[in-house]
Amino acid sequence: MDNERSIAAVYIRVSTEDQAREGFSLGEQKEKLLQLCAFKGYEVFKIYEDAGISAKDMEHRPAFQEMLSDMKKGKINYIVAYKLDRVTRSVRDLEELISVLEQYNCFLVCDRDDVNTSTANGRFFVRMLTVLSQLEIEIVSERTKFGLNGAIKSGHLPGVLALGYKKDGNKKTIIDETTKSVIERIFKMYLEGKSFQQISNIFNEEELLKPKKWKDTTIQKIIDNKIYMGDYEQFKRIAKNKQIEPVVYMNVVEPIISRAVWKECQHQKEKNQRTYTRDRVYLFFQKIKCPTCGRIMKCKGSGGKKKKYMYYNCEKCHLNFREDKIEELLSNFIYDMVEYDMAVKKYFLPILADHKPTKNDDIDKEMKQLEKQKERIKKAYMSGIVEMEDFSEDYKLIEDKLEILEQKKNEILDLDNVTFSPQQLMADRDIERETMIRLDTLNSVVKTTWESKSKEEKQEFISKLVESIIITKDNQNELHIERINFRKSFIDMLIKLVDKGVFDVLVPCEINGKEDVILGTGNISNNQVQEYLDRLNEYYETNFYQIYEKVDEETGNIIGEFTPKENEKIIRVLPISPTESTTKSPITKDDVDTKYGIVTYNPTKPRNKIVKGVDNYATT
């Protein structure tokens, strides 16, 4: 190319944001730059246009790359642009560009910034302008990030909403009551031992949230998502690819499941990622720990169609336990848990429920919105806008959601109508339990309830309550329970019952020379004791005795004696503060360590009221 000729490439670029904000349209830039070239006597080789593209880098601008290619081929020796930020806003890219321009004897001219890189002063001025331009970008980025952080912390989450949530009128993320139960069910099923694939298969068979197709990866993403315990995780996808730490904002939305349940599912997932034999259903799947090395014992099976043997094996320590022997060993523990689970389901669910009275208003609003959607769909169908098939499918989805919300509303109303205190509910439970003991039906009911469960249901029940079990074997190959660790979610439930004063404890005692236990309760006030007794007295003639107890200095045993009257049976032991005592005792006050009350009733003298729910107790 003749060095005396000035051959120019006209470069114009605009992003949609630039055009809207400052009017840097391609047409305006083109007109002004052609006038500049004419004024300076430049011969225009070509006009290069990048429309709707950012200036953050040079690599992803096709027209710009084509222009550089033509420059390297010697077709141009000037690049003419409207402003420097049309060319680049990166100091690093500018340094690279200036170096390339010098190498190929090409110069950059910018109309509005009075830039000309053919001189040293011009190149210095260009660098200063670019530094200021990049500073502007970083400031805008920081402001945007700061605004986004504030929005996230106030519950305005970016991106696609997770299943179980929706936006309210202010675009704040709130719980979607129509799909909340699906999320709760997924976490529950996973804790019960079901895999991602099993859960997705069940949902597809049920056609849950049709036409949605469930995949194992869908379930996995839900289990992994921190949003369900109230936290939002930003940059999670980027973090996986670029090895950076995601940003977690805690407690930004209302949680659907507790933090303890979410963490238990992550622990469960770690265990599921190991290799286990899963071609049969094992009652204690991933629950039996080796007493020697502490590893989870693998499940193994043998036998054919007629007779199957299930084993739990530690390959490292060469230890085996037969499943039927474990179940036999744990039978009393299992029956106690079954009986307690039955009682909780029947009597104590209102105590355990996270009752929020304001929820009813939210449900009413959502139901009104769905009713409006129904009317719009009806009108669209009647007007011939939508076909019958589409109308039926959409209408059915709304009907299903309304049904779910109606059920939720009824559940809340049921909780609102609960008039019994926790102590009154405990009294109902005790009366029913004692009635079944008197009729000699409690053990058979509990045993039948357990044995009527399928093996899958038994596995789910154990998995729901138990974290791990350690069993030992003696020299005679007899099995012994060393330790049973409960799941944190189950412990949290028990703590809630303790706080309400309705948690059962077993008080060791000696009855007629034999060791036995009596049901006891955590510390409760005199008022709560009275509520409990008043409820019992509606059904049976009851008595309440306050007794002091002391500790034997030699043996460390607690001493306290009580002899019930004829036809009296002890139903419960209630610890009471010594300062509230009024009963006289031969033991002096200085000897007193604690004091408790004993509740008795006379099974032979029932009141006129009928003990309710005995038949239902067996099937709950």
Strands 107-110 and 78-81: parallel
Residue by residue, what is the 3-state secondary structure of 368-427?
HHHHHHHHHHHHHHHCCCCCHHHHHHHHHHHHHHHHHHHHHHHHHHHHHCCCCCHHHHHH
Answer yes or no: are the C-beta atoms of 165 and 174 closer than 8 Å.
yes
Count of CB atoms within 10 A of residue 328's CB? 11
What residue spans of 225-300 are helical by DSSP H?
A: 236-242, 259-272
Residues 18/21/27/30 CA torsion (nearest 10 deg): -60
What are the catalytic residues?
A: 15
Task: Please state, in angstroms and as integers, the Cα–Cα distance from residue 9 to each residue in 3, 47, 115, 425, 550, following that order.
Answer: 15, 6, 15, 87, 101
Please give the Cα distance from 30 to 13 (Å, whole number): 10
SS (HEC) of 491-537: HHHHHHHHHCCCCEEEEEEEECCEEEEEEEECCCCHHHHHHHHHHHH
- 11: closest CA among 92, 101, 121, 128? 101
Cα radius of gyration rounded to whole Å, the chain? 38
For residues 156 and 561, what is the distance between their CA atoms, to the nearest angstrom?
64
Residue 390, token pair as written in the block? 């589409």
DSSP type of residue 346: I
H or E stretch covering 548 = strand 540-551
- What does the alpha-carbon distance between residue 455 and residue 463 come to, in Å, rounded to a whole number? 12
Indicate the SS3 state at residue 362: helix
The number of beta carbons lying within 10 Å of the beta carbon of residue 308 is 11
